Amino acid sequence: MNIVAVILANVGSIAFQGGNAFELADTISGIWSTPAALVVGDTVTIRPARFRWSTRREFDLRLGQSTGYEGSVKALGLSEPGWPKYFLARRFNGDKHSKDSFYYRLTVKPWSLTEDADGNLKQSPIPSAHRFGDLKACELGKPIHVPRFYGPLEIAVSTLKCKPVELLKAVSAATGTTLKESKHGWKFECDPAELRHRMDRYLLDRLTEADADKSDPILLTDLNLEREAVQAASDEELVAATESSPCELSMPILADTDLARAAFERIRIYSQRQDISGLKPGMYSPRQTAELLDTNRPVQLVMRLDLGTLYLRGFVKGQGTAGIQF
Protein backbone atom coordinates (compact mmCIF):
# COMPACT_ATOMS: atom_id res chain seq x y z
CA MET A 1 0.00 0.00 0.00
CA ASN A 2 1.36 3.41 -0.99
CA ILE A 3 0.89 5.74 1.99
CA VAL A 4 2.38 9.23 1.89
CA ALA A 5 2.40 11.74 4.74
CA VAL A 6 4.25 15.03 4.59
CA ILE A 7 4.61 17.84 7.11
CA LEU A 8 5.80 21.18 5.80
CA ALA A 9 6.26 24.02 8.31
CA ASN A 10 2.86 24.49 9.99
CA VAL A 11 0.97 22.75 7.21
CA GLY A 12 0.67 19.01 6.86
CA SER A 13 -0.91 16.63 4.41
CA ILE A 14 -2.02 13.02 4.51
CA ALA A 15 -2.71 10.58 1.69
CA PHE A 16 -4.04 7.42 3.29
CA GLN A 17 -5.23 5.12 0.53
CA GLY A 18 -7.65 3.23 2.73
CA GLY A 19 -6.99 0.02 4.63
CA ASN A 20 -7.30 -1.55 8.07
CA ALA A 21 -6.89 -0.18 11.57
CA PHE A 22 -3.18 -1.04 11.80
CA GLU A 23 -2.34 0.76 8.58
CA LEU A 24 -4.20 3.86 9.73
CA ALA A 25 -2.51 3.69 13.16
CA ASP A 26 0.95 3.53 11.58
CA THR A 27 0.11 6.33 9.12
CA ILE A 28 -0.96 8.86 11.75
CA SER A 29 1.77 7.72 14.14
CA GLY A 30 4.35 8.46 11.47
CA ILE A 31 2.89 11.92 10.87
CA TRP A 32 3.00 13.01 14.51
CA SER A 33 5.98 10.88 15.65
CA THR A 34 4.04 9.59 18.62
CA PRO A 35 2.31 6.24 19.26
CA ALA A 36 -1.23 5.73 18.03
CA ALA A 37 -3.96 3.38 19.26
CA LEU A 38 -7.28 2.59 17.58
CA VAL A 39 -10.27 0.70 18.90
CA VAL A 40 -10.82 -2.00 16.28
CA GLY A 41 -14.23 -1.17 14.84
CA ASP A 42 -16.83 -2.88 12.70
CA THR A 43 -15.52 -1.32 9.48
CA VAL A 44 -13.30 -3.82 7.68
CA THR A 45 -11.84 -1.36 5.17
CA ILE A 46 -11.39 2.16 6.48
CA ARG A 47 -12.12 4.88 3.94
CA PRO A 48 -9.24 6.85 2.34
CA ALA A 49 -8.12 10.16 3.80
CA ARG A 50 -6.53 12.83 1.62
CA PHE A 51 -6.40 16.34 3.03
CA ARG A 52 -4.21 19.16 4.32
CA TRP A 53 -4.37 20.71 7.77
CA SER A 54 -2.79 23.52 9.77
CA THR A 55 -3.68 22.57 13.37
CA ARG A 56 -4.05 19.35 15.33
CA ARG A 57 -7.73 20.08 15.95
CA GLU A 58 -8.31 20.48 12.21
CA PHE A 59 -6.45 17.22 11.59
CA ASP A 60 -8.69 15.32 14.04
CA LEU A 61 -11.85 16.85 12.57
CA ARG A 62 -10.96 16.10 8.96
CA LEU A 63 -9.69 12.62 9.77
CA GLY A 64 -13.05 11.84 11.35
CA GLN A 65 -14.91 13.20 8.33
CA SER A 66 -12.78 11.10 5.97
CA THR A 67 -12.39 7.80 7.80
CA GLY A 68 -15.18 7.73 10.38
CA TYR A 69 -12.60 7.47 13.18
CA GLU A 70 -12.83 10.24 15.73
CA GLY A 71 -9.65 11.52 17.36
CA SER A 72 -8.65 13.22 20.57
CA VAL A 73 -6.30 16.17 20.97
CA LYS A 74 -5.01 14.62 24.20
CA ALA A 75 -3.22 11.73 22.47
CA LEU A 76 -3.31 9.73 19.25
CA GLY A 77 -6.22 7.52 20.26
CA LEU A 78 -9.07 7.01 17.80
CA SER A 79 -12.33 5.10 17.57
CA GLU A 80 -15.54 5.04 15.61
CA PRO A 81 -18.20 7.35 17.16
CA GLY A 82 -20.11 4.54 18.86
CA TRP A 83 -19.12 1.22 20.37
CA PRO A 84 -18.38 -1.61 17.89
CA LYS A 85 -21.04 -4.28 17.47
CA TYR A 86 -18.70 -7.08 18.55
CA PHE A 87 -18.25 -5.26 21.86
CA LEU A 88 -21.91 -5.03 22.90
CA ALA A 89 -24.37 -6.17 20.24
CA ARG A 90 -23.89 -9.93 20.24
CA ARG A 91 -27.61 -10.32 19.61
CA PHE A 92 -27.41 -8.15 16.47
CA ASN A 93 -24.60 -9.63 14.44
CA GLY A 94 -23.99 -13.15 15.78
CA ASP A 95 -20.32 -13.78 15.04
CA LYS A 96 -17.87 -11.25 16.37
CA HIS A 97 -16.77 -10.45 12.83
CA SER A 98 -17.62 -11.62 9.35
CA LYS A 99 -15.53 -14.59 8.23
CA ASP A 100 -14.54 -12.54 5.19
CA SER A 101 -13.18 -9.81 7.43
CA PHE A 102 -9.52 -8.95 7.94
CA TYR A 103 -10.25 -8.82 11.67
CA TYR A 104 -11.84 -12.28 11.79
CA ARG A 105 -8.51 -13.84 10.84
CA LEU A 106 -6.56 -11.56 13.16
CA THR A 107 -4.90 -13.12 16.20
CA VAL A 108 -5.49 -11.36 19.48
CA LYS A 109 -2.19 -11.42 21.36
CA PRO A 110 -1.14 -10.54 24.92
CA TRP A 111 0.32 -7.09 25.45
CA SER A 112 4.10 -6.89 25.52
CA LEU A 113 5.32 -3.97 27.59
CA THR A 114 8.96 -5.09 27.71
CA GLU A 115 11.35 -2.15 27.57
CA ASP A 116 14.68 -2.01 25.74
CA ALA A 117 17.87 -0.44 27.07
CA ASP A 118 16.58 3.02 26.17
CA GLY A 119 13.29 2.57 28.02
CA ASN A 120 11.27 2.12 24.80
CA LEU A 121 8.77 -0.66 24.23
CA LYS A 122 9.95 -3.59 22.12
CA GLN A 123 7.16 -3.38 19.56
CA SER A 124 6.38 -6.27 17.24
CA PRO A 125 6.67 -5.34 13.54
CA ILE A 126 3.74 -7.71 12.85
CA PRO A 127 0.25 -6.19 13.29
CA SER A 128 -1.70 -7.72 16.14
CA ALA A 129 -4.73 -6.83 18.20
CA HIS A 130 -4.77 -6.67 21.98
CA ARG A 131 -7.71 -6.82 24.37
CA PHE A 132 -7.85 -3.78 26.58
CA GLY A 133 -8.56 -5.90 29.66
CA ASP A 134 -5.40 -7.95 29.13
CA LEU A 135 -3.33 -4.93 30.17
CA LYS A 136 -4.05 -6.02 33.74
CA ALA A 137 -1.63 -8.90 33.24
CA CYS A 138 1.20 -6.42 32.62
CA GLU A 139 3.15 -4.35 35.10
CA LEU A 140 5.19 -1.23 34.54
CA GLY A 141 6.79 -1.46 37.93
CA LYS A 142 3.28 -1.37 39.41
CA PRO A 143 -0.18 -2.79 38.61
CA ILE A 144 -2.46 -1.62 35.79
CA HIS A 145 -6.22 -1.44 36.40
CA VAL A 146 -8.84 -1.60 33.62
CA PRO A 147 -12.60 -1.33 34.43
CA ARG A 148 -14.43 -4.58 33.75
CA PHE A 149 -16.84 -3.05 31.21
CA TYR A 150 -14.04 -2.01 28.80
CA GLY A 151 -12.11 -5.30 28.97
CA PRO A 152 -13.30 -6.91 25.66
CA LEU A 153 -12.39 -3.89 23.50
CA GLU A 154 -9.76 -4.79 20.91
CA ILE A 155 -6.98 -2.29 20.32
CA ALA A 156 -4.73 -1.85 17.28
CA VAL A 157 -1.49 -0.04 18.07
CA SER A 158 1.19 1.48 15.88
CA THR A 159 4.63 -0.12 15.62
CA LEU A 160 6.48 3.13 16.46
CA LYS A 161 9.02 2.88 19.27
CA CYS A 162 7.78 4.75 22.31
CA LYS A 163 7.82 5.04 26.08
CA PRO A 164 5.24 2.85 27.85
CA VAL A 165 3.38 5.84 29.31
CA GLU A 166 2.94 7.30 25.81
CA LEU A 167 1.24 4.12 24.65
CA LEU A 168 -1.01 4.02 27.73
CA LYS A 169 -2.13 7.60 27.04
CA ALA A 170 -2.99 6.70 23.43
CA VAL A 171 -4.99 3.65 24.62
CA SER A 172 -6.82 5.85 27.14
CA ALA A 173 -7.79 8.33 24.42
CA ALA A 174 -8.91 5.54 22.07
CA THR A 175 -11.11 3.84 24.66
CA GLY A 176 -12.65 7.02 26.06
CA THR A 177 -11.22 6.47 29.53
CA THR A 178 -9.08 8.62 31.79
CA LEU A 179 -5.63 7.48 32.91
CA LYS A 180 -4.31 8.20 36.39
CA GLU A 181 -0.96 7.31 37.91
CA SER A 182 -0.27 7.00 41.61
CA LYS A 183 2.19 5.17 43.82
CA HIS A 184 -0.27 2.26 43.77
CA GLY A 185 -0.31 1.85 40.00
CA TRP A 186 -1.80 2.92 36.67
CA LYS A 187 -5.57 3.20 36.69
CA PHE A 188 -7.89 3.57 33.69
CA GLU A 189 -11.25 5.00 34.75
CA CYS A 190 -14.60 5.56 33.06
CA ASP A 191 -15.15 9.04 31.62
CA PRO A 192 -18.95 9.38 32.07
CA ALA A 193 -19.39 12.04 29.38
CA GLU A 194 -17.49 9.96 26.81
CA LEU A 195 -19.37 6.80 27.83
CA ARG A 196 -22.72 8.57 27.30
CA HIS A 197 -21.56 9.86 23.92
CA ARG A 198 -20.44 6.46 22.62
CA MET A 199 -23.44 4.60 24.04
CA ASP A 200 -25.81 7.11 22.46
CA ARG A 201 -24.19 6.85 19.04
CA TYR A 202 -24.18 3.06 19.28
CA LEU A 203 -27.86 2.93 20.31
CA LEU A 204 -28.87 5.43 17.61
CA ASP A 205 -27.26 3.17 14.98
CA ARG A 206 -29.10 0.14 16.39
CA LEU A 207 -32.38 2.10 16.43
CA THR A 208 -31.92 2.99 12.76
CA GLU A 209 -31.42 -0.70 11.92
CA ALA A 210 -34.38 -1.84 14.04
CA ASP A 211 -36.66 0.87 12.66
CA ALA A 212 -35.80 -0.12 9.10
CA ASP A 213 -36.52 -3.77 9.88
CA LYS A 214 -39.77 -3.06 11.79
CA SER A 215 -40.09 -6.73 12.74
CA ASP A 216 -39.50 -6.29 16.47
CA PRO A 217 -41.34 -3.37 18.12
CA ILE A 218 -40.16 -4.52 21.55
CA LEU A 219 -36.55 -4.13 20.43
CA LEU A 220 -37.31 -0.54 19.42
CA THR A 221 -38.76 0.28 22.83
CA ASP A 222 -35.83 -1.47 24.57
CA LEU A 223 -33.30 0.59 22.66
CA ASN A 224 -35.17 3.83 23.38
CA LEU A 225 -35.33 2.92 27.05
CA GLU A 226 -31.60 2.13 27.11
CA ARG A 227 -30.84 5.56 25.62
CA GLU A 228 -32.92 7.29 28.28
CA ALA A 229 -31.34 5.21 31.05
CA VAL A 230 -27.77 6.11 30.09
CA GLN A 231 -28.67 9.81 29.86
CA ALA A 232 -30.55 9.76 33.18
CA ALA A 233 -27.82 7.96 35.13
CA SER A 234 -25.51 10.04 37.29
CA ASP A 235 -21.76 10.10 36.70
CA GLU A 236 -21.26 8.07 39.87
CA GLU A 237 -23.77 5.42 38.75
CA LEU A 238 -22.07 5.02 35.36
CA VAL A 239 -18.59 4.73 36.88
CA ALA A 240 -19.83 2.14 39.38
CA ALA A 241 -21.53 0.12 36.63
CA THR A 242 -18.32 -0.11 34.57
CA GLU A 243 -16.45 -1.50 37.57
CA SER A 244 -19.06 -3.94 38.92
CA SER A 245 -19.60 -7.60 38.11
CA PRO A 246 -21.96 -7.89 36.35
CA CYS A 247 -21.81 -4.40 34.79
CA GLU A 248 -25.32 -3.43 35.89
CA LEU A 249 -26.85 0.02 35.93
CA SER A 250 -29.79 0.06 38.36
CA MET A 251 -32.01 3.06 39.00
CA PRO A 252 -35.53 3.97 40.11
CA ILE A 253 -37.92 5.19 37.44
CA LEU A 254 -39.15 8.57 38.63
CA ALA A 255 -42.54 9.94 37.58
CA ASP A 256 -42.85 12.63 34.90
CA THR A 257 -39.44 11.97 33.35
CA ASP A 258 -38.35 10.91 29.87
CA LEU A 259 -37.17 7.67 31.45
CA ALA A 260 -40.65 7.00 32.87
CA ARG A 261 -42.34 7.72 29.55
CA ALA A 262 -39.96 5.36 27.74
CA ALA A 263 -40.57 2.67 30.40
CA PHE A 264 -44.36 2.91 30.13
CA GLU A 265 -44.13 2.68 26.35
CA ARG A 266 -42.11 -0.51 26.77
CA ILE A 267 -44.79 -1.90 29.10
CA ARG A 268 -47.50 -0.99 26.60
CA ILE A 269 -45.72 -2.66 23.68
CA TYR A 270 -44.79 -5.69 25.78
CA SER A 271 -48.44 -6.22 26.73
CA GLN A 272 -49.31 -6.51 23.02
CA ARG A 273 -46.93 -9.39 22.31
CA GLN A 274 -48.65 -12.26 20.54
CA ASP A 275 -45.80 -14.81 20.48
CA ILE A 276 -47.00 -16.98 23.37
CA SER A 277 -46.55 -20.41 21.76
CA GLY A 278 -43.66 -21.24 24.10
CA LEU A 279 -45.62 -20.63 27.30
CA LYS A 280 -45.67 -23.50 29.77
CA PRO A 281 -48.46 -24.24 32.26
CA GLY A 282 -48.39 -21.73 35.10
CA MET A 283 -46.51 -19.12 33.11
CA TYR A 284 -48.02 -15.69 32.49
CA SER A 285 -48.48 -14.30 29.00
CA PRO A 286 -46.75 -10.98 28.23
CA ARG A 287 -50.07 -9.16 28.60
CA GLN A 288 -50.77 -10.79 31.96
CA THR A 289 -47.25 -9.99 33.16
CA ALA A 290 -47.58 -6.33 32.20
CA GLU A 291 -50.99 -6.10 33.89
CA LEU A 292 -49.59 -7.56 37.11
CA LEU A 293 -47.03 -4.76 37.51
CA ASP A 294 -48.14 -2.18 40.09
CA THR A 295 -47.16 1.10 38.46
CA ASN A 296 -48.29 3.05 41.53
CA ARG A 297 -45.37 1.62 43.50
CA PRO A 298 -41.61 1.96 42.85
CA VAL A 299 -40.38 0.42 39.60
CA GLN A 300 -36.67 -0.22 39.07
CA LEU A 301 -34.81 -0.38 35.77
CA VAL A 302 -31.83 -2.73 35.55
CA MET A 303 -29.58 -2.48 32.48
CA ARG A 304 -26.55 -4.59 31.63
CA LEU A 305 -24.16 -2.10 30.07
CA ASP A 306 -21.91 -4.86 28.75
CA LEU A 307 -24.69 -6.85 27.06
CA GLY A 308 -27.11 -4.15 25.91
CA THR A 309 -30.02 -5.81 27.75
CA LEU A 310 -32.44 -4.57 30.39
CA TYR A 311 -35.50 -5.46 32.43
CA LEU A 312 -38.00 -3.73 34.69
CA ARG A 313 -38.46 -4.84 38.29
CA GLY A 314 -41.40 -3.93 40.51
CA PHE A 315 -44.23 -5.23 42.68
CA VAL A 316 -47.28 -7.35 41.88
CA LYS A 317 -50.59 -5.51 42.31
CA GLY A 318 -52.21 -6.31 45.65
CA GLN A 319 -49.53 -8.83 46.63
CA GLY A 320 -47.59 -6.98 49.32
CA THR A 321 -43.86 -7.51 48.76
CA ALA A 322 -44.24 -10.03 45.92
CA GLY A 323 -41.95 -8.97 43.10
CA ILE A 324 -42.08 -9.23 39.32
CA GLN A 325 -39.62 -8.49 36.53
CA PHE A 326 -39.70 -8.57 32.73
Instruction: Identify the domain boundary among 138, 156, 190.
Output: 190
Q: Put the strands of the sheet holding 129-131 in their side by side order.
A: 70-72, 75-79, 36-39, 154-157, 129-131
Residues 70 and 149 in one domain: yes
Q: What does pTM read for this prediction? A: 0.84
**Mean per-residue pLDDT, 38-66:** 87
Residues 81 and 210 in one domain: no
How many CB atoms neighbour CB 90 within 10 A? Answer: 14
- Asked if residue 295 belongs to a domain, the reply is yes
- Asked if residue 147 belongs to a domain, the reply is yes
The per-residue pLDDT for 19 is 87
* Total tally of structural domains belonging to the chain: 2
How many CB atoms neighbour CB 302 within 10 A? Answer: 16
The per-residue pLDDT for 306 is 85
Q: Which has more confidence, 186 or 95?
A: 186
Residues 215 and 90 in one domain: no
Residues 208 and 320 in one domain: yes
Q: How confident is the model at residue 7 (pLDDT cuts 50, 70, 90)?
A: very low
Residues 155 and 74 in one domain: yes
- Asked if residue 278 belongs to a domain, the reply is no
Residues 16 and 146 in one domain: yes
Residues 179 and 218 in one domain: no
Instruction: Identify the domain boundary among 145, 166, 190.
Output: 190
Q: Is 127 helix (H, G, I), strand (E, B) or coil?
A: coil
Specify whether the CB–CB gap between 36 and 78 falls below 8 A.
yes
Helices (H), 217-324: 217-232, 235-243, 258-271, 286-292
Q: Across-strand partners of 160?
A: none
pLDDT digits (tens, 9 = 90+) for 283-326: 667 777 778 888 888 889 999 988 878 888 888 888 877 788 88
Residues 183 and 209 in one domain: no
Rounded to the nearest 5 degrees, what angle is found at the Cα of 68, between the Cα atoms of 203 and 108? Answer: 80
In terms of residue numbers, what domain contains 176? Answer: 4-190
Residues 121 and 240 in one domain: no
Instruction: Identify the domain boundary among 190, 218, 234.
Output: 190
Q: How confident is the model at residue 72 (pLDDT cuts 50, 70, 90)?
A: low
The per-residue pLDDT for 172 is 94
Q: Which has more confidence, 283 or 263?
A: 263
Please determine, for residue 277, whether its predicted confidence score (pLDDT) is greater than 80. no
Mean pLDDT over each residue of the chain, to the nearest integer: 82
Residues 243 and 156 in one domain: no
Residues 66 and 149 in one domain: yes
Residues 163 and 268 in one domain: no
Instruction: Give the max Cα distance, the chain.
Output: 77
